Structure 1
Amino acid sequence: MTDGEVLVERRGSVLLVALDRPRQRNAMTLDAARVIAGAMSDLDADDSLSVAVLTGNGGHFCAGMDLKRFVDSGERPFVPGRGFGGLVETPPIKPVVAAVEGFALGGGFEMALACDLVVASETARFALPEVRRGLVARGGGMFRLPRALPRAIAMELLLTGTMLEPAVALQYGLVNRVAAENAALDTALDLANAIAANAPLAVATSARIARAAYDRSESSMFEWQQQWTDAVFDSADAAEGSRAFTERRDPVWTGR
């Protein structure tokens, strides 16, 4: 599926979403944001899908908002309820892996921060340059970055707009893997397939609760998580996983 700016492709239980404006370094448009928002909704609604991979074609992830369109027409690539890029304000319940080549700047970096796992190639460069344009990183960057990095490092990136290289991002745990140039997508797909091999309901519930841990105290988490964890333990997949283990075979998941 394509709208000329975003390619959406199913690969088994993995939904691949690729920005496809290489000449503009995949700068985000409103149309592209709407397609991504729709893809994220499809991901959650389809029991045959377990995880998404978000990437950019042509050697870059996303250079942020298309500033030319912003200047010419005031276009802002924000989808109501989903935010910048159709993702940052309300990510899907199911996990998303970012595969980053080249620039992940501004809103592009914020989209990576909204993902659950990040694979960066050796060419990747992360930055929030909004302060250099008289703007602010309101797509989650100002509060997600200090959660993902040591405070001093996050403040330096936010206040100077300078770039972060992948080796440093890996050192601080901002990314999961650093891949060779042009290998970020393959590495991300390997991670996604490792996720998709597990029980879908258990994966989605684990992702939902792990994200909420940032905002809740540990003492409140046990009671709060019960509304979803009970359904996992009562599911057909839970019975299948245990049965497959005792029968020494691979489980067959149904997502139920």
Structure 2
Amino acid sequence: MTVHYQERGHVALITIDRPERRGAMNLESYQQLAEGWRTAAAAPTVRAVVITGVGDSYCAGADLKEFIPMVAEGARDRAEKGEKPEAAPASDDAIEGSSSDLTLAVLRGVDYPKPIVAAVNGPCVASGMEMLLGTDLRIASPDAVFGLPEVKRGLFASGGSTVRLPRQIPYVHAMDILLTGRHITAQEAMQFGLINRIVEKAELLDTAMEIAHAIAANSPGAVSATKLSVLDGFKTGITQAYARELEHGDKVFSAPDAIEGPKAFLEKREPRWTGVSQSV
């Protein structure tokens, strides 16, 4: 196994383990990563997910020797036949398994219902960077680097970066990363707003788990509704986004947790949540 999955309380930990390839992913790795996302999404006790790598390796994208030739061949075949690539599927179908493993692995077009914390312990480039854009909170070690070097290789960042990156950081910074293909440091990434903070490597995973457990301590239904409402706002006009916000809110206010939360606060005790993460 090159991708490991385990659960620690209400938090799932997904670890990419290919240090000999600096975290570069082959087809098997993408399939295992996609399965990890599916498992965490379906697990009723999991309320948050942490994604990280091993040693000094996070995710350096697709393995150029094995994976890129296969992708290029597929693109050439479609071009010769005049076919268009398949559009990203509906997010719930993507998680359940009807989408390609590659699409789900990099969280492209997926409204993942549970919060994801990225603990970037090394190079986060190419599809590793594209996957990062599908996470919600991001911390990195001081030596981490980030980038989309596809243009330097005559390739294209088709894992969602041309869509998501300009929506997450200022346009000029996004275009700097996309068009120059250069790597940026962890310090630059924090200045750009790409990551939340920089943490010493020895403390990185523990810090990420602390963040995830803090999220998991909240009402899972309220947390997932909040995340999905934010994601809806990226996809629709403001009027429809406000309408969807009210729909998400009604689900939360009509659930038992909306009674348990205030009651526990008044009784000065920890709440006993019975709700689960919502799906789209």
Instruction: Decide whether aligned partners of structure 1 residues 235 and 122 sit closer, same or farther in structure 2, where only a CA change above 3 A counts.
Output: same
Q: 1:234 offset after TM fit, Å?
A: 1.0
Separation in 1, partners of 2:48, 2:54: 19
2:56 pairs, out of 48, 59, 75, with 59
- Correspondence 1:191 to 2:211: yes
Deviation digits for residues 84-104 of structure 1, max 9, x if unmatched?
635333252111111101100
Amino acid at match of 1:83: T
2:159 pairs, out of 130, 136, 139, with 139
Pairing of 1:114-153 with structure 2 (within 5 A): 114-153=134-173
Separation in 2, partners of 1:189, 1:161: 31
Deviation digits for residues 149-190 of structure 1, max 9, x if unmatched?
221121111111111111121122211121013432222111
TM-score between both structures, scaled by the size of structure 2? 0.84
Separation in 2, partners of 1:202, 1:84: 24
Deviating above 3 A after TM superposition, structure 1's stretches of 4 or more consecutive aligned residues are 71-76
Contact 2:106 2:130 in 1 (8 A): no
Pairing of 1:46-195 with structure 2 (within 5 A): 46-70=43-67, 80=100, 83=103, 85=105, 87-195=107-215
Contact 2:117 2:208 in 1 (8 A): yes
Q: 1:219 offset after TM fit, Å?
A: 2.6
Contact 1:82 1:89 in 2 (8 A): no
Q: Which blocks of at least 5 consecutive residues in structure 1 are unaligned?
A: none
Amino acid at match of 2:248: W
- Correspondence 1:237 to 2:234: no
Q: 1:40 offset after TM fit, Å?
A: 1.8
Amino acid at match of 2:213: N
**Equivalent position SS for 1:114:** coil
Q: How many pairs were matched up?
A: 252
Deviation digits for residues 124-162 of structure 1, max 9, x if unmatched?
100000001110111011121112222112111111111
Amino acid at match of 2:32: V
Q: 1:227 offset after TM fit, Å?
A: 3.2
Contact 1:47 1:255 in 2 (8 A): no
Instruction: Decide whether aligned partners of structure 1 residues 151 and 224 sit closer, same or farther in structure 2, where only a CA change above 3 A counts.
Output: same
Identity %: 39
Contact 2:226 2:248 in 1 (8 A): no
Separation in 2, partners of 1:192, 1:233: 24
Separation in 1, partners of 2:152, 2:166: 19
TM-score between both structures, scaled by the size of structure 1? 0.91
Q: Pairwise CA RMSD of aligned residues? A: 2.1
- Correspondence 1:13 to 2:10: yes
Contact 2:121 2:141 in 1 (8 A): yes
Separation in 2, partners of 1:123, 1:86: 22
**Equivalent position SS for 1:63:** coil
Contact 1:25 1:58 in 2 (8 A): no
Separation in 2, partners of 1:207, 1:60: 29
Q: 1:42 offset after TM fit, Å?
A: 2.2
Q: Which moved more, 1:81-90 or 1:235-244?
A: 81-90
Contact 1:36 1:87 in 2 (8 A): no
Contact 1:84 1:139 in 2 (8 A): no
Separation in 1, partners of 2:7, 2:53: 16
Separation in 2, partners of 1:107, 1:31: 15
Amino acid at match of 2:184: L
Deviation digits for residues 63-118 of structure 1, max 9, x if unmatched?
00011113665599x96176163533325211111110110010001111111111
Task: Give the equivalent residue in structure 2 for 1:31.
Answer: 28
Separation in 2, partners of 1:80, 1:74: 13
Which structure: greater helix fraction?
2
**Equivalent position SS for 1:8:** strand
Amino acid at match of 1:126: F
